[in-house]
Homo-oligomer: A and B are copies of this chain.
Amino acid sequence: MKRIKLVVAYEGTNYCGWQVQPSGVTIEGVLNHTLSQLLGEEIKVTGASRTDSGVHSLGNVAVFDTGTRIPPEKICYALNQRLPADIAVQSSCEVPRDFHPRRCYSEKTYEYRILNRKIPIPTLRRDTYFYYRPLDAAKMQQAAAYVVGRHDFKSFCSIRASVEDTVREILSCTVAKPQEGILTIRVTGTGFLYNMVRILAGTLILVGIGELEPEALPGILEKRDRSAAGPTAPAHGLTMIGIRYVSSETDTMEV
């Protein structure tokens, strides 16, 4: 038996998110089913980021154990032959048997993309959030700087989450000047709470339209109250970009 790590890209539009649900098609479910068919044994993957319904990915990570004799690096090609067009495994490789994609140190990067112009562009409607009121990217960048570091992000956590420790570390958070109408919020951190990036995006949008000042961010964090932050921005603007694992055993594994 060996443990295989997959880097998984997908368009989330047609899925009920990553995690297997009582009903509805999920990325995890499709991977389990397709891997089991391909390898002739029952496979259950463990995902790094359990993305919500409608969220996309360029580099989510999943691992599974298998006795297959297919060379690890070839599994992704065989798998892509069988996967639907909205899921594509970017790479596959062997990792140590004790590697767990959520339990070891990692740096995850997400992007939230906003199409900020007067009129929507049809080809961008699935993976950008169309928002027509003009956003001040410079003010949003000022606000974003306040979330960098180790903070209690309870205000940026869905009230549906049951987690107790709401302290997380954000390594960087940038708001790029719009390119061809798309404003991109890019966040890297060692861990995220449920809906955290989407609530952060919703809050930065309030800053962008002048309803919040950038200097309001520290106060919102201090309140530890979901209602202090902005709304949860829609799922389809969010993309899981990639995960960087750094550990002594596995050395550096970059997505």
Cβ of A215 under 8 Å from chain B: no
Contact yes or no, A125 B85, CB < 8 A: yes
Residues of B within 8 A of A87 (CB): 122
Q: How far is the CA of A87 from the CA of B125 in the complex (A)?
A: 10
Residues of B within 8 A of A120 (CB): 80, 85, 88
CB distance from A237 to the nearest CB of B (A): 12
Q: How far is the CA of A249 from the CA of B148 in the complex (A)?
A: 56
Contact yes or no, B126 A86, CB < 8 A: no
CB distance from A117 to the nearest CB of B (A): 9
Cβ of A9 under 8 Å from chain B: yes
Residue among A89, A90, A239 with the highest chain B CB neighbour number at 10 A: A90
Contact yes or no, A123 B80, CB < 8 A: no
Cβ of A31 under 8 Å from chain B: no
Q: How far is the CA of A88 from the CA of B127 in the complex (A)?
A: 16
- Please name 4 further chain A to chain B contacts, defined as beta carbons within 8 Å, in addition to the given A9-B122, A88-B119, sorted by A numbering: A56-B123, A85-B120, A86-B125, A123-B127
Contact yes or no, A119 B89, CB < 8 A: yes
Known: A85-B125, A125-B85. A80 touches B9 (CB 8 A): no
Listed by A's residue number, 20 A-B pairs whose Cβ atoms lie within 8 Å are: A9-B119, A9-B122, A9-B123, A10-B122, A11-B122, A11-B123, A11-B125, A56-B123, A58-B123, A76-B119, A85-B122, A85-B125, A86-B125, A88-B120, A88-B121, A89-B119, A90-B119, A123-B126, A123-B127, A123-B239
